[in-house]
């Protein structure tokens, strides 16, 4: 742990605005859709209008005759490769069959988007419809149509399963299954005095980033392939692209671009492999930009699913045993997640509770619907809605206050988590209490007003390798080259603050550049709440090395040993009292051929972190009994945090996440009918607006215990998780209506209230 | 979007001549908030887009000698919501305009566009029906006026002929003891089309309802004039029971579509609730009280 003994202005703890912010708000920032190269063409794709069909024939001849069209390709024109983040099951263009409405079948490169679209309108595809299945439970039935005939042929195939055994042999459209056990579930349930069982339904939702997926591809005369892509993990994208193109990785360069929001949805190749094949076919650079209808109908929204929970408790409200069965709809392809299974669904299925006997089974099932992907704390929002609603329902049945029930069961120092982790500095109860206190949990409420609580735990990301390169230039500025993309979270700013802090430099003297994959150090990239921790650590190593090098330079100048030199407030001070300021040292170094001075850092995770983060939220709602309309009056978000490196961007993460969670609680629903997304534009897919945001109180329960630089923790994937449960619990508290499916619409509450009136 | 020619006539006569010349190929554009979306989705593919932006005087707001409020077709929603004349003489229209979409849309979208677009989910048409507005149309043959509740003929359809341009609306003066309310039910997000919307205007006379106007949006294939509710109110004392009974009558005439904003039975029930609430608010605005 760093000693926070510093002199001069501190950068850590400064509310610095995003370093790349001015470029973004003045339109100078370059996004993938802005890439323009000489001779560049527009790429567009024709998508399937059938959920499941055999492609009988494709006639491209009329499309090829459209003026301005330079290439028209179908799956038959491509090598037989499939792409994916882990499981590689999605073809670049459909071959022989389509598996969802929106699957790409034919692609065109043309001089204008209109010419491309006109060409696509002239493509004649003959389909033979196949039986389709849209519901994951129906898809697992023995007579369900098989969506993939030979899944075992895919790279990282869905079978054999994780967890040792399969209950789904032969293959029954189960893309992945994960079974986690601890203790003895049967014995635990046998000793329980009460057993509660509830089932919850969660819909698909879209990440809602402002920037739709975009990419560009250009092939150099030397065969070098340049790719621009709105992707949060450029190095991993390069690996996947090289595999898709059948070339060595060094032939592919992924170039930095600004990213207009990611929220977990920008980890795939999306159209970029296709864009390359269009560039190859047309011998021109090609750009592809999805429109928002394509995003909503054929992006990679969050997994929908059905979650069944069964929990055994003692009469006094102690949880003994807990069983979770999670059946997620992964759509037609499993390619959009970077692991075999939806990790967060398993991890959050037992919540932050002390439970001796557990069984969790999490499935992803293929259906003929839009493929599902990752979305901010993947798996956890769905699962936490179920778990935290379930906990309230149990507390209610036992006649206990929901807060008291949780406080009785949450982990305390010394406990092992349900997942077998041993965390230190566990402050779960403290965080819950902080949220409840700020919300005045026990204060009187007007009629039809209710309060609900929800809690979630997530450890800082600690996986992969991060790298950083730091150079000192002749002006005395520090230039940090990172391979990480800033997806809009403020990671560049945090990295700059780490450099500034370590080298006692003004933040304005640190310049952050995203390097391309040829020039930057390997960087695993954004995801899993890892960047502040991992890239922050790598950056701190580079900055510490730079500091050591500067002290050595000063020692050369003073003609003494480096032990005899100290750096204090940007001055180098020898033990005999001689001093040199930063500028003079840089000038001296330039004269003595010591510039440019470059130091690198690389950081590899040392295993799972031994600390974690909690978020507890209280929602206060008011229900209009005549209409069922819910107004969220206010929300409290309490966070167990480490050193807050940048209070402004930290708060931005909390508020942004909370509003995202609010949208998923109240209005967002990617509706599907017979496999077709019917909420196909942002007029129908309802994201919350500024006017919908309730009064928000944030409580930070601070400590200097994080694994990141200067004892920071993660914040990006916490506040978005509990809102649906907290709001659903508050609605129950207000009017006695329990909703077990999202979103919480006025009509559902209205219908339930009218049914209650009839019963009484 | 498909390619098209763009024409900006300088006078209304020139605009009308352009319409005649291009026939069905031509589409008029004002703020563009409706047409451009339809063109982007290729639901409408005009060969020629005729802009009204250069036509002088079509954005004016005036009172004539008979205290009729005359508003030009190019007047934006933003002007409707902020104009002192509109706020004084047709506060219902100002309130409905304020509830439209976002300030970015309201700055572009025009009154004429909102009328001729004939989207039954929009906010201005119910308010205009409740205000007894008349739509002014001009063609090469001359001018005519159509009462707004006879203007809409179907989903996105009006009585406007291919050679006609909507030039404005006229709103007759209201009695001094009149109050109005516009309620837009937005249970999902604040930026949405209404699940149901209700415009109500009530004139009181010695403690009874002298006259009433009730119109609904998002309740049928056209903006809906609820005459049956008005008939039940005329001459009645404004009791809670009267309002409830009158509002309940709207249930038989609404014909909403089921969508993600609600099922048909829910929208019908909400139409009844919001008609009652809007009448209550209008009575309060008229200085009365529901007893």
Q: Give the residue extent of every domain in chain B.
A: 5-51, 61-171, 178-285
* Cα nearest neighbour of B266 on chain A: A747
Residues A87-99 have a mean pLDDT of 96
Orientation of helix A428-438 relative to helix A402-409, angle to 10°: 160
Asked if the peptide bond before residue A748 counts as cis, ω within 30 degrees of 0, the response is no
B265 vs B257: CA distance, rounded Å = 10
Task: State whether CATH 3.40.50.10190 applies to domain A21-28+462-604.
Answer: no
B95 vs B82: CA distance, rounded Å = 9
B224-225 β-sheet, strand order: B178-185, B196-205, B208-217, B224-225
Query: Hey, which bits of A314-448 come out as E strands?
Result: 319-331, 357-366
* Cα nearest neighbour of B276 on chain A: A626
Task: State whether CATH 3.30.43.10 applies to domain B5-51.
Answer: yes
DSSP tag of A561: -
Nearest-CB residue to A627 (from B191, B192, B273): B273
pLDDT band at A203 (very low <50, low <70, confident <90, very high): very high
A744 vs A756: CA distance, rounded Å = 17
The CATH classification of domain A379-460+609-759, taken from the options 3.30.365.10, 3.40.50.970, 3.40.50.720, 3.40.50.10490: 3.30.365.10
Measure in Å the smallest separation between the Cα of B128 and chain A Cα atoms.
24
Q: What is the domain class of B178-285 according to CATH?
A: alpha beta
Q: How many Å from the N-terminal Cα to the C-terminal Cα in chain B?
A: 56
Q: What six digits make up the tokens of B73?
A: 């077709």
Q: Is the pLDDT of residue B23 over 80?
A: yes
Which pLDDT value is given to residue A168? Answer: 72
B183 vs A426: CA distance, rounded Å = 50
What distance lies between CA B28 and its chain's CA centroid? 19
Residue where the block lists tokens 């409290």: A636
pLDDT band at A260 (very low <50, low <70, confident <90, very high): very high
Q: Please report residues of A whose CB lies closer than 8 A to that of B1.
A: 114
Is the distance from CB of B111 to CB of B91 less than 8 angstroms?
no
Please give the model's pTM, rounded to 2 decimal places.
0.96
| CATH architecture of the domain with range B61-171 | 2-Layer Sandwich (3.30)
Of A299, A345, A336, A365, which Cα lies nearest the Cα of A148?
Answer: A365
Is the distance from CB of A620 to CB of A632 less than 8 angstroms?
yes
Domain span(s) for CATH 3.30.365.10 in chain A: 21-28+462-604, 379-460+609-759
A115 vs A121: CA distance, rounded Å = 10
Q: Is the pLDDT of residue A5 over 50?
A: no
The torsion region of residue B243 among left (phi > 0), alpha (psi -120 to 50) and beta comes to alpha
Residues A481-497 have a mean pLDDT of 97
B263 vs A697: CA distance, rounded Å = 36
Q: Please report residues of B whose CB lies closer than 8 A to that of A683.
A: 193
Q: Is the pLDDT of residue A511 over 70?
A: yes
- ipTM of predicted complex: 0.96
Whole-angstrom CA distances from A381 to A309, A689, A717 are: 15, 20, 10
Q: How many Å from the N-terminal Cα to the C-terminal Cα in chain A?
A: 62
Residues A746-759 have a mean pLDDT of 97
Which pLDDT value is given to residue A4? Answer: 42
Of B181, B212, B177, B178, which Cα lies nearest the Cα of B93?
Answer: B181
**pLDDT 10s digits, A205-240:** 999 999 999 999 999 999 999 999 999 999 999 999
CB atoms B266 and A679 under 8 Å = no
Which pLDDT value is given to residue A662? Answer: 98
Query: Hey, which bits of A111-154 come out as E strands?
Result: 124-129
A623 vs A542: CA distance, rounded Å = 54
Which pLDDT value is given to residue A3? Answer: 42
Residues A368-377 have a mean pLDDT of 98
CB atoms B262 and A747 under 8 Å = yes
Chain B within 8 Å of A199 (Cβ-Cβ)? no
E strand or H helix at A490 = none
Of B197, B230, B211, which Cα lies nearest the Cα of B126?
Answer: B197
A383 vs A396: CA distance, rounded Å = 20
Chain A within 8 Å of B161 (Cβ-Cβ)? no
Whole-angstrom CA distances from B60 to B55, B115, B167, B174 are: 11, 16, 11, 20
pLDDT band at A340 (very low <50, low <70, confident <90, very high): confident
pLDDT band at A158 (very low <50, low <70, confident <90, very high): low
Chain A within 8 Å of B189 (Cβ-Cβ)? yes
Q: Of A416, A717, A747, A757, which one is the catalytic site residue?
A: A717
Is the distance from CB of A347 to CB of A381 less than 8 angstroms?
no
Look up A655 and say whether it is catalytic: no
Query: By CB neighbour count within 10 A (0-12 exposed, 13-18 middle, 19+ buried), where does B92 fall?
Result: buried
Q: Please report residues of A whose CB lies closer than 8 A to that of B262.
A: 746-747
Chain B within 8 Å of A666 (Cβ-Cβ)? yes
Q: What six digits make up the tokens of A490?
A: 């403020």
CB atoms B3 and A688 under 8 Å = no
Q: Is the pLDDT of residue A286 over 80?
A: yes
Measure in Å the smallest separation between the Cα of B136 and chain A Cα atoms.
31
Which pLDDT value is given to residue A293? Answer: 96
Where helices occur in B234-263 by DSSP H, the ranges are 240-248
State the sign of the Cα–Cα–Cα–Cα dihedral B68, B73, B75, B80.
positive
- Substitution target in B102, B104, B191, B268 with the highest count of A β-carbons within 10 Å is B191
Residues B74-99 have a mean pLDDT of 97
């Amino acid at each position: 742990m760093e000693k926070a003994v510093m002199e001069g202005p501190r950068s850590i703890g400064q509310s610095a605005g995003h370093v790349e912010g001015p470029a973004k708000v003045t339109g100078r920032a370059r996004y993938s859709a802005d890439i323009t190269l000489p001779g560049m063409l527009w790429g567009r794709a024709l998508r399937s209008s059938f959920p499941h069909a055999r492609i009988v024939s494709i006639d491209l001849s009329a499309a090829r005759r459209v003026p301005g069209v330079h290439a028209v390709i179908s799956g038959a024109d491509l090598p037989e490769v499939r792409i994916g983040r882990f499981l590689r099951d999605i073809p670049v263009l459909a071959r022989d069959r389509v598996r969802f409405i929106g699957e790409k079948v034919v692609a065109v490169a043309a001089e204008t988007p209109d010419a491309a679209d006109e060409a696509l309108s002239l493509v004649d595809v003959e389909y033979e419809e196949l039986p389709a299945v849209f519901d994951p439970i129906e898809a697992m039935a023995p007579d369900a149509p098989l969506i993939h005939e030979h899944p075992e042929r895919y790279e990282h195939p869905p079978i054999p399963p994780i967890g040792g055994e399969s209950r789904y042999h032969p293959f029954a459209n189960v893309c992945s299954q994960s079974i986690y056990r601890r203790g003895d579930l049967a014995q635990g349930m046998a000793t329980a005095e009460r057993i509660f069982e509830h089932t919850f339904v969660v819909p698909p939702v879209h990440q809602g980033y402002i920037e739709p997926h975009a990419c560009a591809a250009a092939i150099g005369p030397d065969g070098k392939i340049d790719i621009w892509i709105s992707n949060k993990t450029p190095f991993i994208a390069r690996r996947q692209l090289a595999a898709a193109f059948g070339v060595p990785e060094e032939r592919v360069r992924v170039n930095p671009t600004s990213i207009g929001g990611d929220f977990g949805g920008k980890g795939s190749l999306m159209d970029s492999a296709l864009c390359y094949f269009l560039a190859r076919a047309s011998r021109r650079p090609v750009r592809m930009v999805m429109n928002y209808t394509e995003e909503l109908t054929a992006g990679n929204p969050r997994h929908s699913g059905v979650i069944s929970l069964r929990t055994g408790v003692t009469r006094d409200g102690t949880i003994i045993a807990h069983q979770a069965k999670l059946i997620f709809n992964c759509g037609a392809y499993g390619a959009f997640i970077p692991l075999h299974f939806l990790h967060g669904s398993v991890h959050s299925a037992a919540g932050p509770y002390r439970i001796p006997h557990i069984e969790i089974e999490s499935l992803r099932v293929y259906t003929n619907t839009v493929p599902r992907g990752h979305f901010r704390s993947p798996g956890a929002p769905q699962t936490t809605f179920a778990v935290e609603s379930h906990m309230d329902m149990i507390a209610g049945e036992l006649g206990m206050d929901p807060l008291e029930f949780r406080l009785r069961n949450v982990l305390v120092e010394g406990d092992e988590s349900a997942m077998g982790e041993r965390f230190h500095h566990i402050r779960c109860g403290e965080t819950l209490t902080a949220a409840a206190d700020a919300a005045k949990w026990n204060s009187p409420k007007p009629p039809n007003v209710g309060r609900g609580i929800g809690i979630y735990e997530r450890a800082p990301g600690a996986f992969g390798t991060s790298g950083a390169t730091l150079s000192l230039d002749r002006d005395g500025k520090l230039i940090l080259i990172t391979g990480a993309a800033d997806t809009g979270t403020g990671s560049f700013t945090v990295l700059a603050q780490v450099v500034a802090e370590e080298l006692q430099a003004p933040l304005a003297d640190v310049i952050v550049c995203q390097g391309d994959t040829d020039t930057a150090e390997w960087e695993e990239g954004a995801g899993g709440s890892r960047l502040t921790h991992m890239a922050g650590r790598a950056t701190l190593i580079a900055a510490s090395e730079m500091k050591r090098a500067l002290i050595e330079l000063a020692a050369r100048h003073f003609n003494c040993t480096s032990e005899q030199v100290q750096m204090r407030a940007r001055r180098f001070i020898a033990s005999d009292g001689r001093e040199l300021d930063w500028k003079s040292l840089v000038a001296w170094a330039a004269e003595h051929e010591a510039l440019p001075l470059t130091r690198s850092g690389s950081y590899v995770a040392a295993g799972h972190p031994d600390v974690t983060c909690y978020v507890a939220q209280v929602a206060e709602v008011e229900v209009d009994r005549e209409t069922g309309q819910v107004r969220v009056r206010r929300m409290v978000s309490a966070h167990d945090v480490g050193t807050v490196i940048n209070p402004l961007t930290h708060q931005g993460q909390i508020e942004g996440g909370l509003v995202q969670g609010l949208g998923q609680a109240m209005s967002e629903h990617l509706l599907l009918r017979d496999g077709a997304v019917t909420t196909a534009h942002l007029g129908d897919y309802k994201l919350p607006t500024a006017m919908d945001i309730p009064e928000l109180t944030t409580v930070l329960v601070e400590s200097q215990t994080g694994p990141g630089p200067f004892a920071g923790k993660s914040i990006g994937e916490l506040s978005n998780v509990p809102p649906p449960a907290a709001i659903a619990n508050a609605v129950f508290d207000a009017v006695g209506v329990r909703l077990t499916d999202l979103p919480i619409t006025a009509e559902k509450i209205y219908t339930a209230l009218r049914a209650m009136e009839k019963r009484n | 979007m498909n390619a098209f020619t763009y024409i900006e006539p300088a006078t209304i006569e020139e605009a009308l001549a352009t319409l005649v010349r291009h026939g069905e190929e031509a589409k008029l554009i004002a703020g563009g908030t409706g047409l451009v979306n339809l063109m982007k989705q290729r639901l409408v593919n005009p060969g020629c887009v005729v802009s009204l932006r250069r036509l002088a005087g079509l954005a004016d707001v005036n009172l004539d000698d008979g205290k009729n409020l005359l508003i030009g077709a190019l007047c934006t929603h933003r002007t409707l919501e902020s104009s002192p004349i509109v706020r004084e003489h047709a506060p219902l229209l100002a309130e409905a305009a304020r509830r439209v979409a976002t300030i970015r849309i309201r700055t572009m979208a025009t009154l004429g566009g909102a009328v001729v677009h004939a989207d039954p989910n929009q906010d201005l048409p119910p308010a205009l029906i409740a205000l007894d507005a008349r739509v002014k149309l001009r063609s090469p043959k001359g001018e005519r006026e159509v009462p707004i509740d006879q203007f809409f003929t179907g989903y996105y359809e009006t009585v406007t002929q291919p050679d006609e341009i909507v030039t404005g609306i006229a709103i007759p003066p209201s009695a001094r003891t009149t109050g109005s309310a516009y309620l837009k039910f937005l249970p999902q997000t604040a930026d949405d089309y209404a699940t149901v919307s209700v415009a109500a205007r009530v004139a009181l006379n010695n403690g009874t309802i002298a006259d009433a106007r009730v119109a609904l949006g998002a309740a049928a294939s056209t903006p809906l004039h609820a005459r049956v509710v008005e008939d039940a109110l005329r001459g009645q004392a404004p009791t809670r029971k009267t309002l409830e009974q009158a509002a309940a009558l709207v249930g038989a005439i609404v014909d909403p579509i089921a969508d993600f904003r609600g099922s048909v039975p829910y929208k019908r029930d909400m139409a009844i609730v919001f008609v009652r609430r809007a009448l209550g608010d209008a009575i309060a605005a008229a200085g009365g009280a529901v007893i």
